[in-house]
Amino acid sequence: MCENEKPNAPSKEAEIKPFPENDDAVWVGPPHPVSQLRLKVFPDSKNLSKEEKDFYVQCKETQEWNHNYWEAHNQDFQKSRKLYIEKISKEKNLTTDEVAQSEDMANFYQHFLKINHSKHISYNWEWYRKNLHLLYLGAKVNFAKLKKFFIS
Checking if the pLDDT of 48 tops 70, the result is yes
Q: Secondary structure of 23-90 in the HEC alphabet?
A: CCCCEEEEECCCCCCEEEECCCCCCCCHHHHHHHHHHHHHHHHHHHHHHHHHHHHHHHHHHHHHHHHH
Find the mean pLDDT for residues 68-72.
98
Per-residue model confidence (pLDDT) at position 15: 44
Checking if the pLDDT of 42 tops 90, the result is no
